[in-house]
Amino acid sequence: MTILKPSETATLERAADAPMLAQVERWAAVNSGTGNLAGLKTVAGLLADAFSALPGTLCLVAPDPVESVDAAGRVQTIERGAHLHLRVRPEAPVQLLLTGHMDTVFAADHPFQSLKWLEPGVLNGPGTADMKGGIAVILAALSALEASPLAERVGYDVMINSDEETGSHASAALIAELARGKTAALTYEPALPDGTLAGARPGSGNFSVLIHGRSAHAGRNPEDGRNALVAAADLALRLNALKSPDLKVNPAKIDGGGPNNVVPDQAILRVNMRPMTPDAMAAAEAALRDAIAAIQRDHDVHCHLYGGFNRPPKPLDAAATRLFELVRDCGAALGLSIGWNATGGVCDGNNIAACGIPVVDTMGPRGGAIHSSDEFLIVDSLAERAQLSALTLMKIAERGTV
């Protein structure tokens, strides 16, 4: 069993004493849905003020452009919010990456906008667990680390992006840049209510298939038409048949169609695919393209594919397993039982792992019912997880590796 040193105990006390609840209440009171640029700007300003208490260079990074296909088949450029980046001691021998996101899934017109106590110690509110609570834990852990004798041994980049909930398309390049050369990374998605961490994750890809057919009168000469809606439905069924233990497929929506007396000449199929392994991802992409080719041939239509796999699969390799074991051991020193299980969800941890960097991506506080109006934060876990992070950071700094 790990015995804490006096210097470690002092650091952990500082982490637990940070004003995390007040920060969460303030940050979660501002709507920052991914599409709410005004709200994201406000939250980014609040976070910049808070993180300016740390040393280093802090800036707001412009988002990369993001393209999307609308319901009419037009390719649109979507504007996203700026990302927060803090760099501290880039010359230090140990370099770490800590990431979080300021956006939520709740739009500015969503009815879920306010905070309330479900019971003593359980706070309900948009983004309390996912993941403004996690951002508060990052700040508390790093502020405590700065007062530690080990601080000079470790440098770090903190990246809080504005678009994680929609796939991090506007921040993926920044994540990859900051991950390069790091010893390890920690991402602050919420842990499960019982403290369990997410281990292996599948990949995820979102695709839009734009199908062009040919319109005709539904009664007079339907044989001259090429029904894009039927082609889209056929494609949905073919893709659905690709499901396997290594691949989840969800044909989610078809845009298209029109008056009953007109053969529809355009449709758009939206589909999500989640492969468990890199090989399954490559096979899924090949099968998707084969299915599209078959639809073009069998229905005499033209198809255009948009999108891709923006989250690669995240298996647990040896380095990642060592990092999980270090977090587990740090938890044991604090009297916490830390375990991990594979999950079907994805996050920025997928992108970091794809860069070859070991990452634990559920270092945030305990909570649940995320992405719903029942979302809750277990408030006592703010201090618990801030101490877990601070101790993990100190152990990595001390070892120089995971």
User: Of all residues in the chain, what percent carry a pLDDT higher than 70?
Assistant: 100
* Residue 226 pLDDT grade (very low, low, confident, very high; cuts 50, 70, 90): very high
CB 181 within 8 A of CB 156: no
Question: What DSSP letter does each residue of 66-99 carry, written as one string?
Answer: EEEE-TTS-EEEEP---EEEEEE-TTSSEEEEEE
Distance CA 376, CA 182 (A): 32
Rama region for 86: left / alpha / beta (φ>0; ψ in -120 to 50; rest): beta
Query: Which is it for strands 83-88 and 154-161: parallel, antiparallel or unpaired?
Result: antiparallel
Give yes or no for residue 2 having a pLDDT over 90: no
From the list 344, 263, 268, the residue with the least C-alpha distance to 311 is: 344
Say how many Å lie between the first and final Cα of the chain, rounded: 18
CA–CA gap between residue 6 and residue 9 (Å, rounded): 5
Please report the sign of the dihedral spanned by the C-alpha atoms of residue 44, residue 45, residue 46, residue 52.
positive
* Half-sphere exposure in the Cβ direction for 15 (13 Å, CA): 30
pLDDT for residue 353 is more than 80? yes
pLDDT of residue 1: 56
Residue 349: closest CA among 186, 183, 195: 186
Nearest to 345 by CA among 327, 365, 371: 371
* Spacing of C-alpha 250 from chain mean position: 19
Contacts (Cβ under 8 Å, ≥6 apart) of 215:
225, 262, 263, 264, 265
The string of pLDDT tens digits covering residues 239-296 is: 999 999 999 999 999 999 999 999 999 999 999 999 999 999 999 999 999 999 999 9
| pLDDT score, position 3 | 82
Q: What is the spatial distance between Cα 109 and Cα 172, in angstroms, rounded to a whole number? A: 27
- Tell me if 330 sits within 8 A of 323, measured CB to CB: no
How would DSSP label each residue in 278-331? HHHHHHHHHHHHHHHHHHHHHHT-EEEEEEEEEE--B---HHHHHHHHHHHHHH
The predicted pLDDT at position 167 comes to: 97
Q: How confident is the model at residue 343 (pLDDT cuts 50, 70, 90)?
A: very high
pLDDT digits (tens, 9 = 90+) for 175-203: 999 999 999 999 999 999 999 999 999 99
> From the CA atom positions of the chain, what is the Rg in Å?
23
Output the pLDDT for position 281. 98
Is 189 in a helix, a strand, or coil?
coil
Query: Across the chain, what does the average pLDDT equal?
Result: 97
d(CA 65, CA 237): 32
363-372 residue pLDDT tens: 999 999 999 9
Q: Which residues, other chains included, contact 163 with Cβ-Cβ below 8 Å and sequence gap of 6+? A: 34, 63, 66, 80, 81, 101, 103, 169, 170, 171
β-pair partners for 309:
205
β-strand pairing of 190-191 with 364-368: parallel
Which residue in 382, 379, 369, 361 sits closest to 106, CA to CA? 369
* Residues 330-351, mean pLDDT to the nearest whole number: 98
**Tokens read off for 210:** 């734009």
**Is the backbone peptide bond immediately before 131 cis, with ω within 30 degrees of 0?**
yes
